Amino acid sequence: MEKCKLAIIILNYNSWKLTLKFINEQLSKVNLPKHTKIVVVDNNSSNDSLKHLEKMQKKYNYILLRSKGNNGYAAGNNIGLKWAFDNGFEYGLVANTDIIFENSEDINKMLSIFKMDSRVGVVSPRVFTSSGVEMNRNLFRPSVYDLTFGKIRYRKKGRTLPSELRGKNNDYCYNYRPQGCCMIVDLKKMNSINYMDEHTFLYMEEPILAEKLLRKRIKGACCLNVKIIHNHSTTVQSIAKQRQIYKWQNASEVYYYKKYRHFNYLEIKLCTAFTALYFYTFRKLKKFN
């Protein structure tokens, strides 16, 4: 059997319409490498998603995998990534269904970085909001200051590239944290770090992955000539849901600070206090803008 190239991992939870729309509207407009396969992982949806995904599987030609329980974002994506590695794929693209590709060669440009630099284990694009604001490229490992008093400044860092972070050409630079909404991983390297940490339900998967890569001296990269839009507005959140989201965020942050950054008690309290302030202030201000 000829070696496969790319598996596109799409995690579905109660959102079969968005999943099929993404396959139909976004993946159909980009040029994909030979032997690419779409892998949809249903993360134990509580609605009729699985029934609809089974019905449309032949039409859209994807592999459908089913999780026995919903153990979160990392665990769900790991199902697809492990399946891809076990079936001989070289790379896995983890993609949210609310991203928009701008160029037909976006995926191929990201894949080319792996051939340029064998040290790279994960490649992300530049990510923009629907209003055209570029999100943090996450070039630097954040300090306690970056996570507290310097939080806003840190989110703006990365517009100017220091020489030590530049790749072999102007196509890419090294970064700390990948963009979980759209990242291509080297599956052999992911297998070597035992994939994504499944101890969080939602949030902080990317910095935790960054730490696991650092421990193996595997680099992350940002593909500078690929821009995508991450359209967060596709999800409408109620007040109750916001409270639950904050609980997930807080629990994941504490886990990251303790296990991967070894922050002390006061540092953790300070970081989580700033997260709470930023989380609720940002959302309130957003309502009135």
> Is the model's pLDDT at 154 over the cut of 80?
yes
Contact 201, 251 (CB under 8 A): yes
Compute the distance between CA of residue 252 and CA of residue 235 in angstroms, rounded to an integer.
Answer: 21
Task: Copy the structure tokens of residue 160.
Answer: 């100017």
In the chain, the amino acid numbered 240 is A
Average pLDDT over residues 249-271: 97
> Is the model's pLDDT at 239 over the cut of 90?
no
Contact 175, 220 (CB under 8 A): yes
> Is the model's pLDDT at 287 over the cut of 60?
no
Return the residue matching tokens 């949806």: 45
> Is the model's pLDDT at 236 over the cut of 80?
no
Average pLDDT over residues 75-102: 97
Kindly give the pairing relationship between strand 91-95 and strand 172-175: unpaired
Residues 6+ apart with CB under 8 A from 280: 246
- Cα 227 to chain center, whole Å? 15
Q: 282: pLDDT confidence band, cut at 50, 70 and 90?
A: low
Compute the distance between CA of residue 210 and CA of residue 141 in angstroms, rounded to an integer.
Answer: 9
Q: What is the pLDDT of residue 283?
A: 57
In the chain, the amino acid numbered 184 is I
Average pLDDT over residues 247-268: 97
Q: Give a three-class secondary structure readout of 228-245.
A: EEECHHHCCCCHHHHHHH
Average pLDDT over residues 276-286: 69
Which CATH superfamily does the domain covering 6-234 fall into? Spore Coat Polysaccharide Biosynthesis Protein SpsA; Chain A (3.90.550.10)
Compute the distance between CA of residue 116 and CA of residue 223 in angstroms, rounded to an integer.
Answer: 12
- Taking phi first (over 0 means left), then psi (-120 to 50 degrees means alpha), and beta for anything else, what does residue 35 get? left
> Is the model's pLDDT at 36 over the cut of 90?
yes
Q: Give a three-class secondary structure readout of the chain.
A: CCCCCEEEEEEECCCHHHHHHHHHHCHHHCCCCCCCEEEEEECCCCCCHHHHHHHHHHHHCEEEEECCCCCCHHHHHHHHHHHHHHCCCCEEEEECCCEEECCCCHHHHHHHHHHHCCCEEEEEEEEECCCCCECCCCCCCCCCCCCCCCHHHHHHCCCCCCHHHECCCCCEEEECCCCCCEEEEEHHHHHHCCCCCCCCCCCCHHHHHHHHHHHCCCEEEEEEEEEEEECHHHCCCCHHHHHHHHHHHHHHHHHHHHHHCCCCHHHHHHHHHHHHHHHHHHHHHHHHC
Kindly give the pairing relationship between strand 172-175 and strand 219-230: antiparallel
Kindly give the pairing relationship between strand 62-66 and strand 120-128: unpaired
Task: Copy the structure tokens of residue 41.
Answer: 């992982």
Q: What is the pLDDT of residue 285?
A: 45
Contact 25, 98 (CB under 8 A): no
Average pLDDT over residues 238-244: 62
Q: What is the pLDDT of residue 198?
A: 98
Percent of the chain surpassing pLDDT 70: 93
